Structure 1
């Protein structure tokens, strides 16, 4: 059976995704990316005018790979509070897998790039905001279902609450990366989310 080989553009995106995520944008050069992708430097500039353009493509590709899992986690057929519990579990499992692969807690690729470069590159800042808004839409829909089910007050501003949830998750991932502490996510992420949702006793009962 014939194996399909990734095209040059895909190889560059995949190599950059891995190098930038486990290291940093500043520590990775175009030469490093080309070497990891086994691509000539001229080919790099054929597809990407600059490293910034590649970084933006990496952010978009990372989200594209994540989206099917978000669709599954936030399926309307799942009880709304359970969607957030499933999200916490999925985040932990993914971080555990990458920690085994890279021998460190890598945190969120969008956040790592955004926090490092958003102050210097408007394109990266805009892409980070775009991805944040797309993720928050999942939270907003689940929060609306919680309000409809009487599990949140009718006065809840679901947009503000979604932003609070996103900020909490990002913060937990940043701290876990800085401290290289996977157990922090296992211990704190789900209970913290449930407290934000006013359901902190749910984890206490489960325990």
Structure 2
């Protein structure tokens, strides 16, 4: 029996790392193949273009990340603790990535979205869909917190979008300044936004 090829998986992993540590525009098919240890012919066997690979890779990354989010935002976890856990996970992940790559990388979805939103409609739509799904996790936590009387948030969708923009903004600042201290006040700022009385 022949050995099962892992070329497709290696290409997916390679493009995710390259566009997160660098940029989508500056990442070539040749670089992706080199990082993955895959011949260019194999690349085109699996994917018609770099865009198709990127969309597949983003889908894969989101599917994996949702498993973690589903645990953090489980209904058995107190509503606001879900959000605090998510923010702590952001910081822990960025610390690990900084140790590995020597830089703060921020959010891959927002970083990529800011780069390609005006030039690649297929990628933009995929990223927008993922971000919309992410906001729903915040919305469910806010809605539950309001129902339990923990906070006053009659418009949970609007507050979720504000909270999401705040968190992603801090991640972007941390990337730009290459400084994790921008994340130190993430939870404290979120408490102000949510009107949490300590």
User: For this structure pair, what is the TM-score category when the shorter chain's length is used for normalisation?
Assistant: over 0.9
Structure 1 stretch displaced more, 52-61 or 94-103: 52-61
Deviations along 1:124-166, one digit per CA (max 9) or x if unpaired, are 1101111011111111111111111112336x21111111111
Does residue 195 of structure 2 align to residue 198 of structure 1?
yes
Partner of 1:162: 160
Correspondence list, 1:42-57, <5 A = 42-57=41-56
- Report SS of the residue matched to 1:170: helix
5+ unaligned residues in a row in structure 2: which ranges? none
Partner of 2:175: 177
**1:25–1:116 Cα contact (<8 Å) kept:** yes
**1:95–1:182 Cα contact (<8 Å) kept:** yes
**2:152–2:195 Cα contact (<8 Å) kept:** no
CA distance in 1, matches of 2:4, 2:190: 41
CA distance in 2, matches of 1:62, 1:181: 25
Correspondence list, 1:123-138, <5 A = 123-138=122-137
Partner of 2:147: 148
**1:59–1:109 Cα contact (<8 Å) kept:** no
Aligned positions, number:
196
Give the drift of 1:42: 1.1
- Report SS of the residue matched to 1:128: helix
Deviations along 1:6-37, one digit per CA (max 9) or x if unpaired, are 62111100011111101111121100000010
Deviations along 1:56-105, one digit per CA (max 9) or x if unpaired, are 12211221121111111111111111111111111100110011000000
CA distance in 2, matches of 1:193, 1:129: 23
Correspondence list, 1:45-124, <5 A = 45-124=44-123
Partner of 2:19: 20
Indicate the RMSD between aligned Cα atoms, in angstroms. 1.5
Does residue 32 of structure 2 align to residue 33 of structure 1?
yes
Give the drift of 1:5: 7.2
When normalised by structure 2's length, the TM-score is: 0.94
